[in-house]
Amino acid sequence: MFPLFYGFDPTFIVLIPAILFTFYAKFKVDSTFNKYLGVEASSRKTGAQVARDLLDQNHLYDVPVELTPGTLSDHYDPRRRVLRLSPEVYHGRSLASLGVAAHETGHAVQHSQAYFPLVLRNTIVPIANIGTNLGWYLFLFGLIFNSNMLMIDLGILLFSFSVLFTLVTLPVEFNASSRAMDMLVASGYVVQGQEESGTKKVLNAAALTYVAAAAMAIFQLLRMLLIRGRRND
């Protein structure tokens, strides 16, 4: 009666490519980051120093650079306008450290320039969070109570905003990485050639995690639509 709850659900198969890609992305970012964490940049500047200088070059003197605990916990907080770097990046002088520091600086510059994809992403964050947390619950509630197609459709609609968020995130992240490389090379923190190539590999690997998140969200939505279609049969 309920293949979703009693036995194997065949729609789960559609998630397998996204799951495999997620594992690959995780492996790629970890291995690439760790590899270039051991390659010191010739500029011998720390991630914190580079972030501070690049922020100042973009007239963002009021954006502080803070140390935050954790590994790969680096982020720019648009609400408090603070750039936070993990210990490996904050104190590190490696190509990986400089690449990540410049990437987060790129987000700060995007924010200051009202970069449209970032503005759009920040606008849909509240409803995307609701969609991520509530969408599946409403969807499952509708499945449990057979006749409640309204709940199923509402769950799908809310989850769609979560999918939209992951898609809008892609140009935001790609643009931040592009800005990072331009700033690092123009300022002489990364030398053209092997250093530039290594730093790009770090940023490209990190971008895979966002592509994987978008793929997983899309396939999850596809699975929901398939289950809904089976309910109508």
131 pLDDT above the threshold of 90: no
* Domain with 189 in it: 10-232
- The predicted model gives 191-208 an average pLDDT of 95
13 pLDDT above the threshold of 80: yes
Q: Is residue 185 part of a domain?
A: yes
Give me the pLDDT at residue 3, please: 44
Q: Is residue 4 part of a domain?
A: no
Residue among 104, 173, 195, 196 flagged as catalytic: 104
7 pLDDT above the threshold of 50: no
Residue percentage of the chain with pLDDT more than 70? 94
Q: Is residue 93 part of a domain?
A: yes
Q: Which residue has the higher pLDDT, 139 or 121?
A: 121
Summarised one tens digit per residue, pLDDT across range 30-57 is: 999 999 999 999 999 999 999 999 999 9
Confidence of residue 232 (pLDDT cuts 50, 70, 90): low
Give me the pLDDT at residue 5, please: 44
- ∠ CA 22-69-36, rounded to 5°: 55
Q: How far apart are CA 45 and CA 65, in angstroms?
A: 15
Kindly give, in sequence order, each residue whose CB lies less than 8 Å from that of residue 186, ignoring residues fewer than 6 positions away: none
Give me the pLDDT at residue 22, please: 96
Does the annotation count 40 as an active-site position? no
**Which string of b and e fits 196-231 if b means at least 16 CB within 10 Å?**
bebbbbbbebbbbbbbbbbbbbebbbebbeebbeee
Q: Is residue 146 part of a domain?
A: yes
Question: Across the beta sheet with 82-85, what order do the strands follow?
Answer: 65-67, 82-85, 75-77
- ∠ CA 83-85-90, rounded to 5°: 120
Q: Is residue 197 part of a domain?
A: yes
Q: Is residue 1 part of a domain?
A: no
Least confident of 17-31, 57-71, 129-143: 129-143
- The predicted model gives 119-146 an average pLDDT of 86
Average pLDDT, the chain: 92
pTM reported for the whole predicted model? 0.89
Q: Is residue 3 part of a domain?
A: no
Count of structural domains within the chain = 1
Q: How far apart are CA 5 and CA 8, in angstroms?
A: 8
